[in-house]
Amino acid sequence: MNLLKRTSLRHTAELRVLEGFGRAVRAVCRYVAPRTVEELALTVQRARAEGLTIAFRGAGRSYGDAALNASGLVVDTTGIDRVTAWEPATGIIDAGPGVTIEGLWRRTIEDGYWPAVVPGTMHPTLAGCVSMNVHGKNNFRAGPFGDHVLDLDLLTPAGDIVRCSRDENPDVFFAVVGGLGLLGAITRVRLQLKPVESGRLRVEALSARNLDELFDRFEAHLPHGDYVVGWVDCFARAAELGRGIIHVANYLRAGEDPEAAVSLHVERQGLPPRILGFPRSALWRIMRLFTNDPGVALVNAVKFFTSRLQDGHTYLQSHVAFAFLLDYVPDWRLAYGPEGFIQYQIFVPHAEARACVRDVLELCRQENRCSYLGVLKRHRPDQFLLSHAVDGWSLALDFPVRAGQRADLWALTERLTERVLAAGGRFYFAKDAVLRPADVERAYGRDRLARFLAIKQRLDPDGVLANDLWSRALVQSG
């Protein structure tokens, strides 16, 4: 009678139906959430002994299947979230893998430091940001998240802790940053933060009537903008194709902000509790009413025409309010309905970017599947092994998934992928749900993948570390 007997992880780990952030992909996984690095090490050891594969999951903000593991174990590391050292004199922080971006800035802003690179939401964990090598609206200037990591500790499936940095085990360092959690568990990260003189940025909003104007104005502001980001109305057509808004933001220098000291207070960095008179927690339900083709087209048009009236408008905005646009509406992803959505982000070299972006927008229009959101950014290349960044531009697109039309949407992304690959482009694994091994091989090159796989083979010879992204898009590359 072994019903009441607790045995292996395989039997005792709870089952969870986990989703990607976009809700379009999900899986039944075994799930454990260790609270300490020792527990994490024990979990990895037990899983390895039992032949279970492991995927790591932080805040679950990857849009696709990077934090899912259908046939194995998902290890949630958000519980290991202690800041072990913070040096306000140098702006260097030492923290556990589960510390979030929010945890970072809340701890450091009153000392005058802000994370040098943040994604569009403050919820991702440090280990997640490192594993996906996330980027922000300042990628052209500040590079990706990994460029600000000084060193990190990696717990390998064999149970060793490997410290790596640009000087120590550099091959491991450049593979782990952007390594999709496939090389080991990140147990500690030492990060260099950026000193800021004020809690606010000077933001300028610019309107662009078409794609060429969008690119032109964007480029014109690159030399003197600390952050530049473009919003694209993907429903605009013909002569207005690619119309949008550009936001340029600059740090305020010492003396520029009379309220500098006050603006650095944590309380001054909050998001408004109510927007347009509604409590933020209820906003997604209102958004839900507009999350359809005519609704988005209308909202986009209103947004664009409002921007025409305010072209060149300059204002001061807190770091949080400027950086974490996605956090204004909690649970906004629910507005896409039960089937969720996929985000598809392409990276195209500078010379090809205009033509490719135009092509992509036009193709979506022809297929009557306009993206509900379009975000344009400028990128610079970096040294990381599986880096998505090219010297060029990225366009992020949100496509709703409708019941019964999944295959059509995936077919559209295949056609888009073909165009992006032809232009020498890449994709972003943090958001991906559609790529196939052949696409990845073309985007990253056989050599680069082979180097990554060789390091994986060395650190994880038994193939303990795997996630659904790996199984879908990478595994045949070996």
Partner 1 sequence: MSVEFAKAIVVGASSGIGEAIAVQLACGGADVAILGRRADELERIAVTLPGKLTPFVHDVADADAVPELFARIVEKLGGLDTLIYAAGTMPPIAEGEYSFPKDRDMIVVNLLGAMAWMNLAAAHFEAARRGTILGISSIAGERGRRGNPAYCTSKAALSTYLESLRNRCSRYGVNVVTVKPGFVDTAMTRGMPGLFWLVSANEAARQSIALARRGNSASGFVPPRWALVAGIVRALPSFVFRHLNF
Residues within the interface to partner 1 (CB under 8 A)? 1-3, 5, 7, 10-11, 15-17, 26-28, 71
Torsion of CA 143, 105, 218, 290, to 10 degrees: 120
Give the residue with the Cβ less far from partner 1, 5 or 224.
Answer: 5
The full DSSP string for 264-284 is TSGGGGPPPSEETTEEGGGHH
Residue 128 tokens read as: 């997640």
CB of 397 to partner 1, least distance (A): 24
Which has the closest alpha carbon to 348: 394, 412, 413, 398?
394
Q: Angle at Cα 244 formed by Cα 347 and Cα 298, nearest 5°?
A: 115
Is residue 324 within 8 A of residue 271, CB to CB? The reply is yes
CB of 3 to partner 1, least distance (A): 5
Q: Which of 458, 423, 403, 430 is nearest to 349 (CA)?
A: 423
Q: Tokens for 258, please give them.
A: 């009379």
User: Which lies closer to partner 1 via its Cβ, residue 70 or residue 185?
Assistant: 70
Judged by CB, which is closer to partner 1: 241, or 335? 335
Can you tell me the distance from the alpha carbon of 425 to that of 421, in angstroms, rounded to the nearest whole number? 5
Comparison of 31 and 328: residue with beta carbon closer to partner 1 = 31
Distance of CA 197 to the CA centre of its chain: 27
Cα atoms in the 13 Å half-sphere on the side-chain side of 205: 18
Q: Are the CB atoms for 393 and 426 separated by under 8 Å?
A: no
Question: Measured from the CB atom, is 24 or 370 closer to partner 1?
Answer: 24
Would you say 20 or 144 has its CB closer to partner 1? Answer: 20
C-alpha–C-alpha distance, residues 291 and 34, integer Å: 38
* Identity of residue 220: A
Least distance (Å) between residue 30 CB and partner 1 = 8
Q: For partner 1, give the closer residue by CB, 62 or 125.
A: 62
The minimum distance between CB 331 and partner 1, in angstroms, equals 17
**Minimum gap (Å) between residue 336 Cβ and partner 1:** 15
- How far apart are the C-alpha atoms of 126 and 58, rounded to whole Å? 8
Minimum distance from residue 13 beta carbon to partner 1 (Å): 10
Nearer to partner 1, 14 or 267 (CB): 14
* 459 in Cβ contact with 157 (< 8 Å): yes
* Phi, psi (degrees; rounded to nearest 5) at 398: -110, 120
Give the residue among 55, 75, 57, 69 at the shortest CA–CA distance from 17: 69
Shortest distance in whole angstroms from residue 27 CB to partner 1: 6
Residue with smaller CB distance to partner 1, 15 or 89: 15
Minimum distance of partner 1 from residue 410's CB (angstroms)? 16
- Six-digit token pair at 221? 């502001």
In angstroms, the CA 420 to CA 19 distance is: 27
Q: How far is the CB of 467 from partner 1 (least distance, A)?
A: 15
